[in-house]
């Protein structure tokens, strides 16, 4: 193992972390501010990817794909919130889980009916399809673009939440919704906006993921599980927590997958290491979550109240 390889793998971890952050930010806002469990968040990500792929195949323009997909997913998110989810805010978390799980099935079937069960084609723009030489390894240029775009969006989100009036209302709505309502702010509209923002971020992630992952029914579920781990680890409702949590989960997962099988081979038989390595690597992040829950149940970077 060389330093170059280790750094390359860290970059891979960062890239996964950035993608997770885009999803976790939206999910944690909805979770923390509206106290609402939205399992259909992964479906919004899938819809974003499908919208982007559809536009990409029609126009062959990657940029245009994003320009259409992100607002379209945002609108779809607000529509879903207005039509279905708004009825569930006062209900039990279990009811919310049940209803949003139903939405997952609904969206998976919907894309299957419209686009068919096979994967849909989408590719990175020509300029980003090559590799960049780094630490003696070729690193995919497109993954660099994901890291850059994700960090940029993250910075924008930080600015919006902490420096703008809307951000202030969102933060206030998270801690004392009744007080905000009493001051004459339309909490219901604020909720829809927050939900739309989350959906837009999910659509952005779907657009970014389209060229590396296959755009197919059910593509939102595996990443939803990782996203839930991220927000629990980072602290529910906190954008900062979502950011650091996503980076930690992304890097731990990637480094574990990359080096644990090799490491195990040092002191285990080869066939045993080959079987145990991936298995242990894939539970690492859940172990991490369990430890965090035991030591700091509120998460590593919880919202500061008061």
Q: Which positions from 18 to 57 touch another protein by CB under 8 A, shown as an x/- string?
A: ----------------------------------------
Question: Residue 1: exposed, middle, or buried by beta-carbon count in 10 A (0-12, 13-18, 19+)?
Answer: exposed
Comparing C-alpha atoms, which of 60, 25, 31, 37 is closest to residue 200? 25
Element holding 134 (H helix, E strand):
strand 131-134
Which of 71, 75, 86, 123 binds another protein (CB under 8 A)? It is 123
How far apart are alpha carbons 219 and 104 in whole angstroms? 11
Instruction: Match 């039509």 to its residue by tokens.
Output: 83
Toward another protein, which CB reaches closer, 220 or 235? 220
Cα 160 off chain centre by:
19
Shortest CB 116 distance to another protein, Å: 7
Q: Of all residues in the chain, what percent are helix, strand and coil, respectively (each to 5)?
A: 75, 5, 20
Cβ proximity to another protein: between 5 and 172 the closer is: 5
* Residue 105 binds another protein (CB under 8 A): no
Q: How far is CA 140 from the centre of its chain?
A: 21
One of 142, 207, 243, 244 touching another protein (CB under 8 A): 142
When binding is defined by CB under 8 A, the residue of 9, 43, 100, 192 that contacts another protein is 9
Asked if 109 and 43 count as a contact pair (C-beta separation under 8 A), the reply is: no
Taking contact as CB under 8 A, which single stretch among the options 75-83, 107-115, 159-167, 196-204 is the one that binds another protein? Answer: 107-115
Q: Does 102 bind another protein (CB under 8 A)?
A: no
Smallest distance from another protein to CB 109, Å: 8
**288, 300 contact by CB (below 8 A):** no
259 to 288, contacts with another protein by CB under 8 A? Answer: 261-262, 274-275, 278-279, 282
C-alpha angle with apex 274: 270 to 276, nearest 5 degrees?
115
The nearer residue to another protein, 156 or 222, going by C-beta atoms, is: 222
Residue matched to tokens 């971890």: 13
**Per-residue binder mask for another protein (CB under 8 A), 193-232, x = binder:** ------------------xxxxxxxxx-xxx---------
257 is a site residue for another protein (CB under 8 A): yes
- Minimum distance from CB of 239 to another protein (Å)? 24
Tell me the C-alpha distance between 197 and 200, whole Å.
5
Per CB under 8 A, 131 contacts another protein: yes
**C-alpha torsion angle, residues 104, 148, 132, 127 (rounded to 10):** 80
Name the site residues for another protein (rule: CB under 8 A): 2, 5, 8-9, 12-13, 15-16, 108-109, 112, 116-121, 123-124, 129-131, 137-138, 140, 142-143, 211-219, 221-223, 254-255, 257-258, 261-262, 274-275, 278-279, 282
């Amino acid at each position: 193992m060389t330093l170059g390889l280790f750094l390359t793998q860290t970059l891979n971890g960062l890239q996964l972390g950035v993608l997770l952050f885009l999803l976790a930010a939206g999910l944690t806002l909805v979770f923390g501010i509206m106290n609402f469990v939205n399992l259909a968040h992964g479906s919004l990500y899938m819809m974003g990817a499908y919208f982007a792929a559809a536009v990409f195949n029609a126009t062959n323009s990657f940029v245009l794909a994003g320009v259409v997909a992100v607002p379209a997913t945002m609108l779809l998110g607000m529509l879903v919130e207005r039509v279905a989810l708004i009825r569930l805010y006062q209900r039990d978390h279990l009811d919310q889980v049940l209803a949003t799980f139903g939405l997952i099935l609904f969206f998976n079937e919907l894309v299957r009916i419209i686009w068919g069960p096979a994967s849909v084609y989408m590719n990175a723009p020509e300029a980003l399809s090559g590799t960049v030489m780094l630490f003696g390894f070729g690193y995919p240029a497109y993954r660099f673009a994901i890291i850059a775009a994700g960090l940029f969006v993250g910075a924008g989100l930080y600015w919006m939440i902490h420096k703008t009036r809307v951000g202030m209302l969102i933060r206030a709505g998270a801690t004392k919704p009744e007080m905000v309502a009493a001051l004459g702010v339309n909490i219901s509209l604020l909720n829809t906006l927050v939900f739309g923002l989350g959906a837009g971020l999910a659509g952005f992630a779907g657009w970014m993921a389209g060229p590396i992952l296959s755009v197919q029914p059910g593509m939102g579920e595996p990443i939803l599980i990782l996203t839930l781990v991220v927000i629990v680890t980072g602290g529910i409702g906190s954008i900062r927590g979502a950011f650091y949590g996503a980076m930690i989960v992304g890097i731990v997962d990637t480094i574990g997958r990359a080096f644990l099988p090799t490491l195990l081979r040092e002191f285990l038989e080869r066939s045993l290491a080959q079987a145990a390595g991936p298995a242990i690597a894939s539970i690492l992040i859940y172990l991490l979550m369990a430890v965090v829950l035991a030591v700091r149940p509120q998460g590593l970077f919880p919202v500061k109240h008061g």
